[in-house]
């Protein structure tokens, strides 16, 4: 087999959607699993909607996911340029070739005429495809339309034959020609249509495998016809099943976050999102679920892609993200969560300042934003429980005795670590006669505002004795004021 060349070709008209990210991932992993090349091509011929800002954001998202391209707009190779807006002369040349060979023609039909005739065909129970009205116009008819000010599109002639192609997942797929009709390859403004520019680029860039979502299956026969018209070899097609929401409908905004940027901003790790997306409609022989990129590349087999649609399970993604968080070193995790701490307004300057805090929260956090939320009490100057259950515990008379004794014992000790803390708690129990939950819970709530959370021994070591005393005394003042 020739060297594998795959491509991801986003349109810069918005954010990188989760479905498109999965497509990019499949192309990347497959190319790397075969020692091939991964090409990034920007399809920006929709001049009204394409923006440089969107392109940059998409590229940033791909880099964040770890999908580094071998050739692209910012990494030129011998097949460039890699933006379609910079390849217009190439498309013009190939469109002219089809016109000269009689395989394409100018069409002067207006949008209104096309819609009217389409509606009429549908009412008669006929296919909605274009009826070929302008196929055999004379030069006089063309000139007359031009004098009217009509600007023609270029249509490709679809001959009377069925179009078949082989999909590596779905097998042989056939389309009757009357479902396709003579399709537009160049707009009236000279800009190429998707199927035309896509086929030309895939050939010239020597793409061997076209991996994309199965919503593109209906585009494939048009591209196959163009390949045949030019006498080009047809690449292998792999159409991956679509991604559905939990309700079984196509993934959309109503299901929550749908872009890579949204998941990044919510504190998901790139390796977790890559891991999760890779397992949507694919699985390794081993059955393993937690996989890093090198493991994905080593185990990837395109034949194991499912025929069925995949369901995007947000809860499973959160679980998987939590596993990846727990697998990080405290140093790495501290660096990654730092921006989320800063965004929350915590007074932190570098990762080293929060490493011990991160270690206490690592086992319980599913996202980086969760970790930042759960870390709030570490930076508070005053803590008072908000939940009724915790308030009721603090309002118990024996809780006040425990906290007063605790503050006194801590103030009188010279050393401070987790072992000293445990000794003091024993002494508090002995002095107050309070044991078990009634002993430990008031201290936990006084220091964290919560009845559950990280180990108290970790919290007190991070706080130090002065802060422990300060927080307990502040809560006691508030408690007595409530009295």
| pLDDT tens-digit readout, 37-63 | 999 999 999 888 999 999 999 999 999
176 Cβ neighbours under 8 A, 6+ residues apart: 162
Judge if 56 and 171 occupy the same domain.
no
Q: Decide: helix, strand or coil at residue 71.
A: strand
The answer to whether residues 235 and 271 belong to one domain is no
Residue range of the domain that includes 211: 87-240
> Domain check: are 115 and 226 in the same one?
yes
Q: What are the pLDDT digits (tens) for 276-327?
A: 999 998 999 898 999 999 999 999 999 999 888 999 999 999 999 999 999 9
In a domain, 383, yes or no: no
Give Cα 22 to chain centroid, integer Å.
7
Residue 322 falls inside a structural domain: no
Same domain as 228, residue 99: yes
Indicate if 203 and 263 belong to the same structural domain.
no
pLDDT above 90: percentage of residues in the chain: 80
- Given 283, 311, 339, the domain boundary residue is 311
* 222 & 266 share domain: no
Active site residue ranges: 253
In this predicted model, what pLDDT tens digit does every residue of 412-454 receive, in sequence order? 999 999 999 999 999 999 999 999 999 999 999 999 998 888 9
Distance CA 483, CA 480 (A): 5
Query: Which of 99-113, 130-144, 249-263, 324-338 is predicted least confidently?
Result: 249-263
The pLDDT value recorded for residue 255 is 66
In this structure, the answer to whether residues 434 and 454 fall within a common structural domain is: yes
Q: Which two tokens stand for residue 334?
A: 């501290």
Residue 154 shares a structural domain with residue 192? yes
With respect to residue 54, please indicate whether it lies within any of the assigned structural domains: yes
Give the mean pLDDT of the chain. 93
Helix (H, G, I), strand (E, B) or coil at 239: strand
Q: What is the pLDDT at residue 384? A: 84
The tokens of 215 are what? 């919503």
Query: Alpha helix locations (H) across 170-306?
Result: 194-204, 220-230, 260-265, 270-278, 293-299
Judged against a pLDDT cut of 90, whether residue 256 lies above it is answered with: no
Opening angle at CA 27, ends 22 and 28, nearest 5 = 95
Structure tokens at 420: 């000293």
- Check if the beta carbon of residue 169 is closer than 8 Å to that of residue 215: no
For residue 54, what is the domain's CATH number? 3.40.50.620
Number of domains in the chain: 4
Same domain membership, residue 132 and residue 80: no
Q: Does residue 152 register a pLDDT over 60?
A: yes
Predicted TM-score (pTM) of this structure: 0.90
Question: Does one domain contain both 222 and 96?
Answer: yes
**Which residue do the tokens 């009724």 mark?**
388
Q: In the predicted model, what is the mean pLDDT of residues 265-278?
A: 97
- Assigned domain for 380 exists: no
Number of C-beta neighbours around residue 221 at 10 A: 23
* Relative orientation angle of helices 270-278 and 52-65, to the nearest 10 degrees: 80
Question: What pLDDT was estimated at residue 254?
Answer: 66
In a domain, 58, yes or no: yes
Q: For residue 80, is the peptide bond before it cis, meaning its omega torsion is within 30 degrees of 0?
A: no
Residue with tokens 């340029």: 81
Determine the pLDDT at residue 249.
82
Q: Considering the chain, what percentage of its residues have pLDDT values greater than 70?
A: 98
Is residue 224 a contact partner of residue 230, using CB atoms and an 8 Å limit? no
pLDDT tens digits, 155-179: 999 988 789 999 999 999 999 877 8
pLDDT of residue 329: 97
80 and 92 in a single domain? The answer is: no
pLDDT at residue 194, as a whole number: 96
In a domain, 319, yes or no: no
**In this structure, is residue 321 part of a structural domain?**
no
Hey, is 238 helix, strand or coil? strand
CATH number for the domain spanning 337: value is 1.10.8
Q: Is there a domain that residue 260 lies in?
A: yes
Q: What is the mean pLDDT of residues 79-104?
A: 97
Cα(336)–Cα(330) distance, integer angstroms:
10
User: Minimal CA–CA distance to 435: which of 444, 426, 447, 424?
Assistant: 426
- What's the CATH number where 465 sits? 1.10.10.350
pLDDT attached to residue 483: 44
Same-domain pairing of 118 and 140: yes
Kindly indicate the confidence band of residue 257, based on its pLDDT and cuts at 50, 70 and 90: low
To which residue do tokens 């097609």 refer? 237
H-assigned helices in 247-379: 260-265, 270-278, 293-299, 314-326, 330-343, 355-361, 368-374
């Amino acid at each position: 087999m020739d060297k594998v060349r795959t491509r991801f070709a986003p349109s810069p008209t918005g954010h990188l959607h989760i479905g498109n990210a999965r497509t990019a991932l499949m192309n990347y992993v497959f190319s790397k699993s075969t020692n091939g090349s991964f090409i990034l091509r920007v399809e920006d011929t929709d001049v009204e909607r394409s923006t440089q800002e969107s392109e940059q954001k998409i590229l940033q998202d791909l880099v964040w996911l770890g999908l580094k391209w071998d050739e692209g707009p910012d990494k030129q190779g011998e097949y460039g340029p890699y933006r379609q807006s910079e390849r217009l002369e190439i498309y013009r040349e190939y469109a002219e070739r089809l016109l000269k060979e009689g395989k394409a023609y100018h069409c002067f039909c207006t949008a209104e005429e096309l819609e009217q005739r389409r509606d009429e065909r549908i009412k008669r129970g006929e296919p909605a495809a274009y009826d070929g009205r302008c196929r055999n116009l004379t030069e006089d008819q063309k000139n007359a339309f031009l004098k009217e000010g009509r600007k023609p599109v270029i249509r490709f002639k679809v001959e009377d034959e069925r179009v078949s192609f082989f999909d590596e997942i779905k097998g042989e797929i056939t389309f009757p020609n009357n479902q396709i009709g003579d399709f537009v390859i160049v707009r009236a403004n000279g800009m190429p249509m998707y199927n035309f520019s896509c086929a030309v680029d895939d050939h010239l860039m020597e793409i061997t495998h076209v991996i994309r979502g199965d919503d593109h299956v209906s585009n494939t026969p048009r591209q196959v016809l163009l390949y045949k018209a030019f006498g080009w070899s047809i690449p292998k097609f792999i159409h991956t099943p679509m991604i559905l929401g939990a309700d079984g409908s196509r993934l959309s905004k109503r299901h929550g976050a749908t872009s890579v940027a949204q998941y990044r901003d919510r504190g998901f790790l790139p390796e977790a999102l890559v891991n999760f997306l890779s397992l949507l409609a694919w699985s390794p022989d081993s059955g393993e679920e937690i996989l890093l990129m090198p493991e994905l590349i080593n185990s990837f087999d395109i034949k194991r892609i499912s025929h069925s649609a995949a369901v995007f399970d947000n809860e499973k993604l959160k679980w998987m993200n939590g596993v990846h968080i727990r697998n990080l070193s405290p140093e790495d995790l501290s660096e990654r969560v730092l921006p989320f701490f800063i965004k929350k307004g915590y007074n932190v300057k570098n990762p080293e300042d929060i490493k011990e805090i991160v270690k206490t929260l690592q086992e319980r956090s599913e996202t980086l934003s969760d970790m930042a939320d759960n870390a709030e009490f570490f930076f508070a100057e005053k803590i008072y429980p908000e939940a009724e259950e915790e308030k009721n515990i603090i309002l118990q008379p024996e809780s006040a005795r425990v906290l007063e004794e605790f503050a006194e014992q801590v103030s009188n000790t010279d050393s401070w670590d987790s072992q000293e803390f445990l000794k003091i708690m024993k002494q508090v129990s002995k002095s107050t006669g309070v044991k078990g939950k009634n002993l430990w819970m008031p201290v936990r709530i006084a220091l964290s505002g919560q009845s559950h959370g990280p180990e108290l021994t970790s919290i007190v070591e991070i706080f130090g004795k002065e802060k422990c005393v300060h927080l307990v005394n502040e809560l006691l003042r508030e408690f007595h004021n409530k009295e």
